Amino acid sequence: MSWDEAFAAHYDEWSADMTEDIPFYVDLALAADGPLVELAVGSGRVAIPVARATGRPVIGLDTSPAMLARARSAGEAAGVTLDLRETDMRDLALAEPAALVYCPYRALLHLPTWADRRQTFERVAASLRPGGRFAWNAFAFDHHVAARLDGEHRDEPVPHSLHYDVPDNRVDIRLDDGGTSSLWWATKNEWLGLLDVAGLALDALYGDFALRPLTSDSREYVFVASRR
């Protein structure tokens, strides 16, 4: 289980400080001429600003009924159109090819294996129109950070602790009141390999949402790729 429904009740608190990615994804959507798709849409945290800024619907896939229910009510309250589908991102299939597929907040890391990610990247490649883009972000594993955070308890934003499992390249986020969310980290070369096998081309790799270059101090991979 990579995503526990227990997180849905806390999601707004959990994601309250994550705002810097929104202009990045909104700008990509504004530049995209055609259908917009968010993988693992969650509560609509990014999809709603994207739909509002573009004036266009956003197709949002997620496996969590509780998160989709949050997105549905938030989208209605915001007056935007979200086409929400209870679908695993590994099974992405669209009637009309997309101009932009994006996956914020490290959600691709909820896929446990290379095979899961390869399937997803291949589905994305098959779902993009020529010139269509695929953008996502994921944390860059840093052993100093892992050593510091492993086993640490935090009260904010929701009481939880982090547990690293290096043999499985996995970090578990355990809520004090129950529920575990797991993320399987990946290296830059794994991401580039996924683009390669899916036949997608790398457009840009940044080290943050200010679009600074990836350096040894970067903690995030911010990728933009496209179908040629």
Ligand X SMILES: C[S@@+](CC[C@H](N)C(=O)[O-])C[C@H]1O[C@@H](n2cnc3c(N)ncnc32)[C@H](O)[C@@H]1O
| CB of 49 or CB of 207, closer to ligand X | 49
Tokens for 14, please give them.
């959990």
Closest Cα partner for 25 from 34, 15, 37, 7? 37
Helix (H, G, I), strand (E, B) or coil at 35: coil
Rule CB under 6 A: say whether 186 interacts with ligand X.
no
Rule CB under 6 A: say whether 61 interacts with ligand X.
yes
DSSP state of 158: S
Among 49, 104, 132, 179, binds ligand X (CB under 6 A): 104
Q: Which stretch binds ligand X (CB under 6 A): 28-36, 55-63, 124-132, 153-161?
A: 55-63
Q: For the chain, what is the radius of gyration of the CA atoms? A: 17
Rule CB under 6 A: say whether 160 interacts with ligand X.
no
| CB of 109 or CB of 195, closer to ligand X | 109
In sequence order, what are the residues at sequence separation of 6 or more whose Cβ sits closer than 8 angstroms to the Cβ of residue 227? 125, 128, 129, 130, 131, 132, 133, 134, 199, 200, 201
| CB of 35 or CB of 104, closer to ligand X | 104
Among 32, 45, 208, 225, binds ligand X (CB under 6 A): 45
Among 29, 40, 175, 198, binds ligand X (CB under 6 A): 40
Q: Which stretch binds ligand X (CB under 6 A): 63-71, 93-101, 165-173, 199-207?
A: 63-71
Q: HSE (CB half, 13 Å, CA atoms) of 144?
A: 4
| CB of 32 or CB of 38, closer to ligand X | 38
